[in-house]
């Protein structure tokens, strides 16, 4: 008989505890492993990032979460070109090729009305965007996703700056979870883990009081409808895409609230935080990193462009990338207030460079970008394996977070602790 893999053994021990593997991990992080580890969720915003994360998980002997937004991966292919099923197939194929023996869990990030750019840009009705989100949840479950982030914290029917009432967020969260659970049972899929809340300023859950009211009302509503409690609550812990700040004091306060629901806080926009090692100490259960890895991919490619120029070659890649980012219009959502009304060319050179780097993830698969990238790779091929170099650079940054979050060797820690996991109450630990 074949020897059970580490992944098989972990899954079997979670099953023995009557829990999804991710829920079992969270239970341990709330209990005997509290304050020691933070799970890493990588946004699969490109082929290279997705492969690099698998290589890092293999090297670190650590579990890996992929947190895919509806902009990245959806029924229409998203900006990566992947549907949920195609992402799952790609990850499975690459994991087998690389010999990855770590749990790899696909997760949905920010599943809710108007959380996909095209729904907001085209001003979809609430009914239309809600139906699309439900279709996306169905596709995620069918593809084997293990965690769904339910995030109905945007309502474009309200005046700008008006937060969605807490009771409406709760009602819509329950509706989307009911849809997911009904489909899961209908197709015989295993139990799911859930994530709720948001860190977005427009989501209206920035104050501790609002978060507390949301979690209290949500717990009551979930129990009334016999729905599972979430494993993660997204909270505002001071992070943003263009800062390096993390607020451990705020994180601890939010963690105390989330634990009453049986959950842990999950931080978004962890990209580039100055001290990621503070996350486990603050009790953070998980952290998402996305644009930061795409920025590393961009920097690695610009290194190759400089090599190409020294060789007297010109692929046209930088110009194709810049044009694609501008034409996408995606850079508009990162405007500063004082930049309103300015064209891209009227912005400072530093801001233009930042916006191209940040927006690069949206256009990697555009034909002109993909074609000139391949020409760049061909131009430097005699001197460097370009693809291996780019993936290695990203892998090093993924490893940076795995070390900071104390996840190196974490599979073995899980194997040690899962057999002793008890099905305690929601305030365990």
Per the prediction, the chain carries an average pLDDT of 93
Q: What percent of the chain has pLDDT over 70?
A: 95
- What token pair was written down for 93? 């194929």
Residue 244: the pLDDT is: 82
Residue with tokens 């700040």: 245
How confident is the model over 309-346, as pLDDT tens digits? 999 999 999 999 999 999 999 899 889 999 999 999 99
Residue 334: the pLDDT is: 87
Residue 423: the pLDDT is: 44
The alpha carbons of the chain give a radius of gyration, in whole angstroms, of 21
DSSP character for 374?
H
Taking phi over 0 as left and psi of -120 to 50 as alpha, with beta for the rest, 366 belongs to beta
As beta bridge partners, residue 194 has 148
- Cα–Cα distances in Å, from 39 out to 63, 215, 236, 260, 412? 8, 22, 17, 20, 14
Residue 230: the pLDDT is: 96
How confident is the model over 12-68, as pLDDT tens digits? 888 888 889 999 999 999 999 999 999 999 999 999 999 999 999 999 999 999 999
Residue segments in the chain with a per-residue pLDDT below the cut of 70: 1-3, 200-206, 421-429
172, 152 Cβ separation under 8 angstroms:
yes
Q: Rounded to 5 degrees, what angle do the CA atoms 100, 411, 233 make?
A: 105
Residue 203: the pLDDT is: 57
Residue 429: the pLDDT is: 35
**Which domains, ranges and CATH numbers included, belong to the chain?**
29-291+394-420 (3.20.20.70), 312-382 (no CATH)
Residue 204: the pLDDT is: 58
Residue with tokens 């996305």: 290
């Amino acid at each position: 008989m074949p020897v059970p893999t580490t992944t098989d053994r972990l899954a079997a021990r979670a099953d023995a505890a009557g829990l999804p593997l991710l829920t079992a991990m969270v239970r341990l992080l709330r209990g005997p492993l509290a304050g020691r580890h933070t799970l890493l969720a990588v946004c699969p915003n490109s082929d290279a990032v997705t492969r690099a994360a698998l290589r890092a998980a293999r090297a670190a002997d650590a579990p890996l979460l992929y947190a895919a937004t509806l902009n990245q991966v959806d029924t229409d292919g998203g900006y990566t070109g992947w549907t949920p099923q195609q992402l799952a197939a790609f990850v499975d194929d690459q994991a087998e090729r690389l010999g990855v023996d770590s749990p790899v869990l696909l997760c949905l990030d920010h599943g809710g009305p108007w959380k996909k750019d095209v729904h907001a840009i085209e001003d979809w009705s609430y009914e239309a965007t809600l139906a699309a989100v439900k279709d996306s949840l169905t596709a995620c479950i069918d593809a084997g996703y293990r965690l769904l982030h339910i995030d109905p914290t945007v309502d474009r029917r309200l005046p700008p700056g008006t937060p969605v009432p807490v009771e409406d967020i709760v009602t819509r969260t329950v509706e989307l979870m009911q849809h997911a659970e009904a489909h899961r049972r209908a197709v015989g899929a295993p139990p799911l883990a859930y994530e709720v809340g948001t860190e977005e300023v427009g989501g209206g859950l920035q104050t501790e009081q609002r978060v507390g009211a949301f979690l209290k009302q949500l717990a009551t509503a979930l129990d009334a409808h016999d729905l599972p409690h979430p494993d993660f609550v997204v909270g505002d812990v001071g992070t943003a895409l263009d800062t390096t700040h993390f607020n451990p004091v705020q994180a601890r306060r939010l963690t105390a609230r989330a634990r009453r629901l049986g959950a842990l806080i999950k931080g978004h926009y962890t990209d580039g935080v100055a001290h990621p090692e503070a996350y486990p100490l603050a009790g953070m259960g998980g952290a998402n990193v996305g644009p930061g890895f795409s920025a590393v991919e961009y920097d690695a490619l610009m290194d190759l462009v400089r090599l190409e120029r020294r060789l007297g070659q010109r692929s046209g890649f930088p110009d194709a990338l810049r044009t694609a980012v501008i034409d996408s219009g995606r850079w508009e959502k990162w405007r500063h207030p004082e930049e309103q009304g300015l064209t891209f060319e009227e912005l400072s050179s530093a801001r233009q460079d930042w916006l191209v780097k940040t927006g690069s993830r949206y256009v990697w698969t555009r034909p002109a970008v993909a074609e000139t990238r391949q020409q760049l790779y061909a131009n430097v091929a005699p001197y460097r394996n370009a693809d291996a170099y780019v993936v290695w650079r990203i892998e090093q940054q993924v490893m940076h977070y795995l070390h900071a979050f104390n996840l190196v060797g974490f599979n073995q820690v899980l194997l040690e602790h899962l057999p002793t996991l008890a099905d305690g109450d929601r305030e365990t630990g």
